[in-house]
Amino acid sequence: MINLRILIPVFFSSLLIQLNASEHEPSLFPAIDPATEVRLGRPQRDEALKKYYLSTNQMYIDTVNRIGRKIANTLSYERPDLIDHWGFTVVGTSDDDVNCFCLGGGQVMVSEGFLDRIEKANGGVIDEDMLASVLGHEMAHDVCRHILMGASTQGSMQWILNHLTDIEKGSDGYLTAEATARLEELARARFTRDQELEADLLGALYATRAGFDGFEGALRYLRVAANDPREEYWTSGGLLAYDPAWKERIAKLESFREAVANLAGEFNWGHYLLETYDFKKASKCFEDLTKAFPDSFEAWNNLGISYHWQYLQATGKSEKFQPGLIDYFVPMRNEVRGESPLNKAIRAYQRALQINAHAVGTQSNLALALIETHEPENLETAEVMLRKLLEPDPDSPIYLNDLAILTYWKTRGNSGATVNQNAAEDLFGKAAASGYLPAKYNLAVLQLEMGKTKDGVTGLQEYLKKDSFSPWAKLAMELVKELSLNSATFRPLSRA
């Protein structure tokens, strides 16, 4: 078992695991309250918008805000004071500037030039894992309040704090020459080498917690930038010398990913400790996991169980009755290790469509993969795709089967589930009427779930007359066997 007490400082305070550890500069303004920090970011944003112009590329705007908000929603543990103040602005520039930067107080700006570059590097589609890691990097600067830690800006920062109310009044119109100069000095300030490394590591972790392949996205970006300095978003203005070397950044990120994966693997150990009644050690495991993964309900639930059982052990016979406490298990290490097969499938389908945008079979496959993420925005995208496919071919059993699966999952578990079961049953029925085998299987499975056992069993038996070899046939045989033992189990709906 690894020493979690050594690993935890990786995630919090300085995050300088294996970084050669030249010391951080202490914050020069530790007394700045969060509200003032937010106020500081706004005039800087307004001043930056005098240099840039607001983008009108709605796809870029929507993508940046969607990904930025997903990451922001995972940061309530570290910076609850910023949860309502994160802002993501996409800007254009006259000189095709490639840039992405934070301004403090939750303000992050992304240039169209930067998005153009990562889109080009991914064959014409924005690499969302790469974008998430870069947004996470900039957000990490804000989370760690790096902008308040630079000796080079001490004079300007103090002056701005003393004149903040006047600056706020004039930031969207006229600013004095002194105010403009002070704000520009802050904009030119560079983060230290250690701060950049810290932001690399935390940014990848934040993106991972938000559901992206944050570490692989960060590594892809760093490798692209290392091979082509023009791709480097923070080198605008010839400032490369202030940043750590690419090889060092890549090495630190790979090392950190392994450390995070080891910590994530402690979920297995903590779960084992629960099962062997070592609740004190289990609580230490899950305490550390909740710090690194604060949105993992499984870790929080199991931490609660660890403490609950410690209480029960301490009370002895005074608590007479045995509770049935429920623990959860999740292969958390796999989330850190890299992209899931489903995400890889989505990326492969997207690449195929870049080559041939008219391949309707690939469009259908992509829609199904998006549905299987069960994420609301992906369900919406899949529905748009399937409706388009059905327009010229409304009786296609393949697309009707796909739409039935989408209909089933759209409100699964909500109060509308029964209504959607009926709608999904109708769609599966239409697709099955043409003899389409996946629809026959799915219709039978859904009927079993709806309590129509006779229809469901008959449907599975008919299905097995046509398919006795595929993985779905094996599942159908298992279902029939289980049902014969009065132990019905319901399997995932079949696509093919």
Q: pLDDT grade, residue 326 (50/70/90)? A: confident
What the block records as the tokens of 221 is: 């970006």
Closest CA to 183 of 245, 115, 103, 112: 103
- Please give the model's pTM, rounded to 2 decimal places: 0.56
Q: Of 128, 95, 132, give the one whose Cα is nearest residue 111.
A: 95
What pLDDT digit, counting tens, does each position of 56-90 carry? 999 999 999 999 999 998 888 788 888 888 999 99
pLDDT digits (tens, 9 = 90+) for 441-494: 999 999 998 989 899 999 998 989 998 888 888 888 888 888 776 544 445 455
**Number of Cβ within a 10 Å radius of residue 455:** 16
Sign of CA dihedral 165, 171, 176, 181: positive
In angstroms, the first-to-last Cα distance of the chain is 43
User: Which residue type, as a one-letter code, is found at position 319?
Assistant: E
Q: What is the mean pLDDT of residues 26-45?
A: 62
> Hey, what amino acid is at 289?
L
Question: Across residues 408-419, what is the average pLDDT?
Answer: 60
Q: Given pLDDT bands bounded at 50, 70 and 90, which one contains residue 29? A: very low
Report the C-alpha gap between 481 and 102 in whole angstroms: 59
Pairing of strands 53-54, 107-111: unpaired
110 three-state secondary structure: strand
Are 313 and 279 a contacting pair, CB within 8 Å? yes
Contact of 206 with 258, CB cutoff 8 Å: no
pLDDT at 356 over 90: no
Count of Cβ atoms closer than 10 Å to residue 133 Cβ? 30
For the ranges 214-228, 341-355, 425-439, the maximum mean pLDDT occurs at 425-439
pLDDT digits (tens, 9 = 90+) for 198-251: 999 999 999 988 888 899 999 998 887 777 655 444 433 333 434 567 788 888
Q: Where are the domains of the chain?
A: 4-257, 263-336
Element (H, E) at 103: strand 100-104
What's the whole-number mean pLDDT along residues 427-434? 94
3-state secondary structure (DSSP) of residue 258: helix
